[in-house]
Structure 1
Amino acid sequence: MSQRADKLSSQSADCKPLAIGSETLSVASVDAVARSVQPVALSQDKAFRKRIQKGADRVAELVHSGAQVYGISTGFGDSCTVSIPNEQLHALPLNLTRYHGCGLGEHLAPELVRATMLARINSLAHGVSGVRLELLEKLVALLQENVLPLMPAEGSVGASGDLTPLSYLAAALVGEREVLHKGQRRPAAAVLDELGIRPLELLPKEGLALMNGTAVMTGIACVTWTRARQLVDLANRITAMACLAMAGNANHFHPRLFEMKPHPGQSRSAHAIRAVLPDDSGKPGTRLQDRYSIRCAPHVIGVLDDSLDWCERWLEIELNSANDNPLIDPETGEVYHGGHFYGGHVGQAMDSLKTAIASVSDLLDRQMAQLVDSRFSNGLPSNLAWEANPEHASSHGLKALQISVSAWTAEALKLTMPATSFSRSTECHNQDKVSMGTIAARDALRVLELSEQTAVGLLVSVSQALEIRRRRGELSELPAELAETLSQVQKLCPFVTEDRALEGDLRELLAALRERRISA
């Protein structure tokens, strides 16, 4: 396991509550909360709580004074020129949550909703959104009790933030629409009543503060980032196994070679591959130069590795920012109208990351094409069919798996079209340039899911190839790391001696990968 994976695991294993309002969040901490392995709590720090209260008090002052402030005493979006009568101000935030209840598509998975909730709470906890402490406390209570709004994935253009999907979070707070609780889909009002949580009556600015931000795209991006980090480590391990199975040349990963072109991720990849290969790899008789999918693997995987570095920086800035509009300085009382809800950085990060992820999937697909083709695998049987099977002639080995791997890879590559290039002018041309950040994040997650499928297909294939070599007596004892990975794979997908359906095995491997039970 890489040092970076160790960092993720140690943070995930920490059961100390994450104190929102006192701690700077990391991508790893979002992942830990999303997977329900780290609890959350609202900070008890007096200065933090005083700051939140001052922001809410300032909103109350603005309402009392009759000041014209966007979304507090005016309509929303292009309707900002419409002044709202005093007697209707309290209806305004609830109306906002209701008319945005028009999302469609599948509901976001529970871990994505939890990540979204944490991102939104953390943004509001900066104290410049004008919400009450009570609102933050109730949001944290929902997260603690695992009351998750049913949040449709489709309907956000990423500016003004994730309005439509976040309206489902606001609706849950006020006891409207449906939530997922203890695996059941139920009316929010019934669940709140059961838990003794009083529905919140939204005050001016609070509906807008809940909805006008980048929490959905940021939450999805953080989960995607963490799983992409795992994919880097796994791709390195698979490449080492493929290289050994095809009697490849380990000198392609020599540390001195990578001092001459020192991209950090590329060098880390080469080191990870070389470190688990036997010392006699690359002995006389192997190819002088392996094909690109082996020889250039660090140059492909390294691009994803290095991309994760700058993406992490951007995501953590977004995660720890105030990203709604308007923002209210609790110290000076100044109101700032701006566009921090714009998800441009998240969108660009996800569009770039999905391209690098898909390229790794393509690399693995090319490795499998070599493994199953007896013309290129240095002596392995066609389709990795076990030749000692009495019915060897009728056995087709992993022929169909290679087709599926190619299908998953092709779909991943197809989705690399940048979502951020498709800005649409919306809402009476008020939102005339939008980020598409949420679509970019969803696309990146889908590309990642397909690439994970490719990776487990390759795990089956390299394990089959190494076991064939071992049963033939062509391999001495495997290096400990590769032997551990091989053992983990074979427990879930035994050596294929005769044709059988592999779907169940692949699903078990995919679950093990996502639950981090596969060593890499």
Structure 2
Amino acid sequence: MAMQTKSTTTVILDGSRLTIEEVVDIATGRRRASLGPSEAFRQRIDAGAQFLDRLLLEDGVVYGVTTGYGDSCTVQIPSDLIAELPHHLYTYHGIGAGRLFTPEETRAILVARLNSLCQGVSGVSWELLVQLEQLLVHDVLPLIPSEGSVGASGDLTPLSYVAAVLCGEREVWYQGAKTSAAEALKAIGLKPLRLRPKEALALMNGTSVMTGLACIAWLRAQSLERLSTRLTACNVWASDGNAHHFDEKLFQAKPHAGPQLAARRIREDLMSEKPARNELRLQDRYSLRCAPHVIGVLGDALPFLRQLIENELNSANDNPLIDPEGERVLHGGHFYGGHIALAMDTLKNAVANLADLMDRQLALLVDQRYNHGLPSNLSGSTGPRAAINHGLKALQISVSAWTAEALKQTMPASVFSRSTECHNQDKVSMGTIAARDALRVLELTEQVAAGMLIAARQALELRLRISELPLPAPLRNFLDELSRAIPLVVEDRALDRELQELIHGLRTGRWEVYSA
């Protein structure tokens, strides 16, 4: 569960714009995170904390600093108890459940929270930013339960585990083992923090869990969008399909950029800029003929979803915000995760459609009625032994099951707002649930894609046995890669281990195609 590789470059966090790729690079260990070194940046952070200090000396009223939280905002906190309030906030929110976020997900969450606080309007101290940065530097990862956030008033419960760890409480994953936060902080030379007024609220009252997860989900979706395009090209050729369906002139007539790009990639994979029409079969079934239109929906959505995710990533999203220059405390609702909820509900829908597309393509490939001369179930066995061998029959069943589960997950989470916390949080985003749903749909769709890699390897080679046409060079190279990873299925064998290796390869960049 340690980071995959040692980082070679550093991402500077100083309030300047951060990208999805930078977050995921830090989350996967390809790059390091570091606070910006400029004195102006530090002064901007310190100014907010200093203004809050002055305000408290003047008996100013600030939500969550001199008042209780949520519907308790009318409760005035005695001045001698103000210092204890932040610790009560993360303590009573220690009620998470469900699976723990993975190390990669946890790093993404930490980066997203740190970047939000680096905007300089949350009223936190420089020492807090350093403590948060050091968790990333030394890979001290809070153990955060994934369930318990409604995605407005921020990811309060999951982020309480981050706040608690900074103060030396609860548990972390450090150097390959679960240990107490206090021991891990001591090991890296840090003392537990005593949070200043507003700091627990600044840590917890934000959208960083859903946003960190969204960054991971976006990149995984982009990989699936590209791979499903390559697999479609494989399936068209393997099923003796009609390449004319991807004609450039045809796609100029419907100017959606996503389908146009998918069609161009398939055309190039098939090396068929001017394909000859298949006189025996003018039109293939929709899962082949309309594949660019299905894949292209996700392709067109991704730039829009990037904008939503990166705007949230680069926002100050706690409440209240502190304006030290104007000497104002701004009470609002930036913790509301509606944009991430929309992004993740949209993403999971488009990704599940890729699973459905690939499932339908596989159903055609394994069925002798529709695969135009390939053996039943893509079995590589011949002669008398063919009678007892079943090829990819079970793979097709599993792919169908994964697809069905992915489709079942596509109900939008954002429409299930619940009134909580004595009707103070009476309209909430459900963005974190949407992000978790999206990751589950991605997981299932990656399993479908891994199954399709096995099927593509099988179908391409079996078509080569009976085809008079050479396999186009891009697909020939792809088949060579597949052949090194997956032996042809001749005699029935369990495929689960190979499937898991392919799934791992998908998630670590082994099967990346179309770099641009």
- Equivalent residues of 2:223, 2:512 under 8 A apart: no
Per the TM alignment, residue 478 of structure 1 is displaced from its structure 2 partner at its CA by: 2.7
- Equivalent residues of 1:493, 1:506 under 8 A apart: no
3-state SS, counterpart of residue 351 of structure 2? helix
- Equivalent residues of 1:161, 1:211 under 8 A apart: yes
- Equivalent residues of 1:127, 1:330 under 8 A apart: no
1:228 aligns to what?
221
Per the TM alignment, residue 283 of structure 1 is displaced from its structure 2 partner at its CA by: 5.2
- Equivalent residues of 1:469, 1:475 under 8 A apart: no
Where does 1:229-268 land on structure 2 (aligned, <5 Å)?
A: 229-268=222-261
**One-letter amino acid matched to 2:309:** L
3-state SS, counterpart of residue 412 of structure 1? helix
Structure 2 residue 416 is matched with structure 1 residue 425 = no
- Equivalent residues of 1:22, 1:45 under 8 A apart: no
Q: RMSD value over aligned CA atoms? A: 1.4
3-state SS, counterpart of residue 432 of structure 1? coil
In 1, Cα distance between equivalents of 2:383 and 2:298: 40
Q: Of 190, 193, 198, which residue of structure 1 is paired with 2:191? A: 198
3-state SS, counterpart of residue 270 of structure 2? coil
Per the TM alignment, residue 120 of structure 1 is displaced from its structure 2 partner at its CA by: 0.3
Deviates more, 1:127-136 or 1:490-499: 490-499
Distance change >3 Å, CA 259–CA 380, structure 1 → 2: same
In 2, Cα distance between equivalents of 1:208 and 1:62: 17
Q: Of 430, 437, 443, which residue of structure 2 is paired with 1:443? A: 437
**One-letter amino acid matched to 1:37:** R
1:487 aligns to what?
480
- Equivalent residues of 2:7, 2:29 under 8 A apart: no
- Equivalent residues of 1:96, 1:208 under 8 A apart: yes
Instruction: State the Cα deviation string for residues 230-278 of structure 1 (Å, max 9, x = none).
Output: 0010000000000000111111111111110010111111111111103
Distance change >3 Å, CA 204–CA 259, structure 1 → 2: same
Per the TM alignment, residue 485 of structure 1 is displaced from its structure 2 partner at its CA by: 2.2
- Equivalent residues of 2:298, 2:347 under 8 A apart: yes
Per the TM alignment, residue 473 of structure 1 is displaced from its structure 2 partner at its CA by: 4.7
Structure 2 residue 125 is matched with structure 1 residue 132 = yes
Deviates more, 1:280-289 or 1:57-66: 280-289
Distance change >3 Å, CA 282–CA 147, structure 1 → 2: farther
**One-letter amino acid matched to 1:401:** L
In 2, Cα distance between equivalents of 1:131 and 1:123: 11
- Equivalent residues of 1:249, 1:286 under 8 A apart: no
**One-letter amino acid matched to 1:385:** S
1:343 aligns to what?
337
1:17 aligns to what?
10
Instruction: State the Cα deviation string for residues 197-250 of structure 1 (Å, max 9, x = none).
Output: 111110100000000000000000110000000001000000000000011111
In 2, Cα distance between equivalents of 1:232 and 1:306: 10
In 2, Cα distance between equivalents of 1:295 and 1:46: 59
**Where has structure 1 moved over 6 Å in runs of 4 or more?**
none
Q: Of 144, 166, 171, which residue of structure 2 is paired with 1:173? A: 166
Instruction: State the Cα deviation string for residues 44-95 of structure 1 (Å, max 9, x = none).
Output: 1121111100001011112211111101100000000000011111110011
1:463 aligns to what?
457
Structure 2 residue 181 is matched with structure 1 residue 185 = no
Instruction: State the Cα deviation string for residues 408-429 of structure 1 (Å, max 9, x = none).
Output: 0000000000100100000000
Distance change >3 Å, CA 292–CA 248, structure 1 → 2: same
1:306 aligns to what?
300
**One-letter amino acid matched to 1:462:** A
Instruction: State the Cα deviation string for residues 444-480 of structure 1 (Å, max 9, x = none).
Output: 110011001001111111210111122x252544333
1:43 aligns to what?
36
TM-score by length of 2: 0.96
**One-letter amino acid matched to 2:8:** C
In 2, Cα distance between equivalents of 1:99 and 1:199: 19
In 2, Cα distance between equivalents of 1:284 and 1:68: 76
Per the TM alignment, residue 13 of structure 1 is displaced from its structure 2 partner at its CA by: 11
In 2, Cα distance between equivalents of 1:477 and 1:515: 31
1:277 aligns to what?
270
Q: Of 80, 85, 91, which residue of structure 2 is paired with 1:87? A: 80
Structure 2 residue 372 is matched with structure 1 residue 378 = yes
Distance change >3 Å, CA 358–CA 435, structure 1 → 2: same
- Equivalent residues of 2:291, 2:357 under 8 A apart: yes
In 2, Cα distance between equivalents of 1:475 and 1:76: 74
Distance change >3 Å, CA 166–CA 519, structure 1 → 2: closer
- Equivalent residues of 1:248, 1:281 under 8 A apart: no
In 2, Cα distance between equivalents of 1:337 and 1:500: 63
Percent of aligned pairs with the same amino acid: 55
2:47 aligns to what?
54
Distance change >3 Å, CA 55–CA 389, structure 1 → 2: farther
Distance change >3 Å, CA 13–CA 97, structure 1 → 2: closer
- Equivalent residues of 1:353, 1:444 under 8 A apart: yes
**One-letter amino acid matched to 2:439:** L
In 2, Cα distance between equivalents of 1:481 and 1:45: 48
- Equivalent residues of 2:414, 2:430 under 8 A apart: yes
In 2, Cα distance between equivalents of 1:208 and 1:519: 40
- Equivalent residues of 1:178, 1:188 under 8 A apart: yes
In 2, Cα distance between equivalents of 1:78 and 1:36: 41
**One-letter amino acid matched to 1:516:** G
- Equivalent residues of 1:20, 1:125 under 8 A apart: yes
Distance change >3 Å, CA 244–CA 361, structure 1 → 2: same
Per the TM alignment, residue 331 of structure 1 is displaced from its structure 2 partner at its CA by: 1.1
Structure 2 residue 400 is matched with structure 1 residue 406 = yes
2:511 aligns to what?
518
